[in-house]
Chains A and B, each alone.
Chain A
Amino acid sequence: MAKTWYPVINYLTCVDCGTCVVKCPHEVYDTEKAPSPVVKNPESCIDHCHDCGNRCPVGAITYVGDDTGWTPPNGEQTAEEPCCSCGCEATPEKKVIIEYLYLDLQTCDRCIGTDNVLDEVMLTLTPALELAGYEVEYKKIEMETAELAEQYRFLSSPTIRVNGQDICKSVAENSCGCCSDISGTEVDCRVFEYNGDSYEVPPKEMLAEAILNAVFGQVEIGCSCSKYELPENLKTFYVGKKSKSGCSCGGSCC
Chain B
Amino acid sequence: MSLFGKKNKNEKTTSCCCGGNCDAESMAKAESSKTEGASVKVLGSGCAKCNQLEAAAKAALQQLGMDTTIDHVTDFSQIAAYGIMTTPALVIDGKVVSYGKVLKTEEVIKILQKVR
Partner-B contacts on A (CB < 8 A): 2-6, 8-12, 33, 36, 38-39, 42, 63-67, 80-85, 87, 89
- Bound-complex Cα distance A173 to B84 (A): 59
- List B residues 28-49 near A (Cβ within 8 Å): 44-45, 47-49
Partner of B99, one of A3, A8, A11, A12: A8
Q: Report B-chain residues with C-beta under 8 Å of the C-beta of A85.
A: 45, 47, 76, 87
- Asked whether any CB of chain A lies closer than 8 Å to the CB of B62, the reply is no
Q: Report A-chain residues with C-beta under 8 Å of the C-beta of B95.
A: 6, 39, 42
Partner-A contacts on B (CB < 8 A): 44-45, 47-50, 76, 80-88, 94-102, 107, 110-111, 114-115
Decide yes or no: A36 and B114 within 8 Å by CB, A4-B82, A83-B86 being known contacts: yes
Q: Is the CB of A64 within 8 A of B49?
A: no
Q: Is the CB of A64 within 8 A of B111?
A: no
- Bound-complex Cα distance A123 to B100 (A): 32
The residue in chain A whose Cβ has the minimal distance to the Cβ of B50 is: A83
Q: Report A-chain residues with C-beta under 8 Å of the C-beta of B99.
A: 8, 64
List 20 additional A-B contacts (Cβ < 8 Å) besides A80-B101, A83-B100.
A4-B81, A6-B96, A8-B97, A9-B97, A11-B111, A12-B107, A42-B95, A64-B85, A64-B96, A66-B83, A80-B86, A83-B44, A83-B47, A83-B86, A83-B87, A83-B88, A85-B45, A85-B87, A87-B45, A87-B47
Q: In the complex, what's the smallest C-beta–C-beta distance from B5 to chain A, in angstroms?
A: 46
Q: Is the CB of A64 within 8 A of B83?
A: yes
Contacts A/B (CB < 8 Å), 20 sampled:
A3-B83, A4-B83, A6-B83, A8-B97, A9-B114, A11-B110, A11-B111, A11-B114, A38-B114, A39-B95, A64-B82, A65-B83, A81-B100, A81-B101, A83-B45, A83-B48, A83-B50, A83-B88, A85-B87, A89-B47
Partner of A64, one of B50, B84, B110: B84
Partner of B81, one of A3, A5, A67: A3
Q: Is the CB of B110 within 8 A of A12?
A: yes
